[in-house]
């Protein structure tokens, strides 16, 4: 099996409009589809599906869950992204910090899902871990 890159992630959210305000309004993802309870957004070569699920918290027990989702961002664009997160009072979990050859910042969406912006590639990270 040969995977060539990040494809997408599906996130269960409590309120679709609140999540769209965050993902589209603050992070700048492009809305490709908006349904009654779902939306598909594009961010560079990645895409994200948001699905509104009533009672997500009640049904979360027993699910493995997700630690975070990381997106690559060019180092030239990193400071502006950090400024946008701070300007919109987004909860920062860690960073911005330098990790290996790149910069990283971890933050939460409106449902507490942890996201990361990182400026180095896997190849660059592996170079320092040899």
| Residues noted as catalytic | 116
Contact 29, 81 (CB under 8 A): no
Contacts of 50 by beta carbon, 8 Å cutoff, 6+ apart: 10, 11, 13, 16, 19, 20, 23, 38, 39, 40, 41
């Amino acid at each position: 099996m040969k995977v060539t890159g990040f494809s997408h992630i599906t996130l269960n959210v409590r309120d679709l409009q609140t999540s769209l305000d965050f993902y589209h309004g603050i992070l700048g993802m492009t809305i490709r589809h908006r349904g009654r309870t779902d939306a598909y957004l594009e961010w560079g070569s990645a895409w994200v599906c948001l699905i509104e699920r009533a009672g997500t918290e009640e049904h979360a027990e027993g699910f493995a869950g997700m630690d975070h989702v990381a997106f690559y961002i060019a180092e030239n664009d990193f400071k502006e992204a950090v400024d946008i997160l701070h300007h919109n009072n987004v909860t920062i979990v860690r960073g911005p910090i330098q990790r290996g050859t790149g910069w990283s910042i971890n933050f939460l969406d409106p449902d507490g899902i942890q996201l990361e912006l990182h400026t180095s590639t896997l190849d660059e990270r592996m170079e320092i871990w040899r």
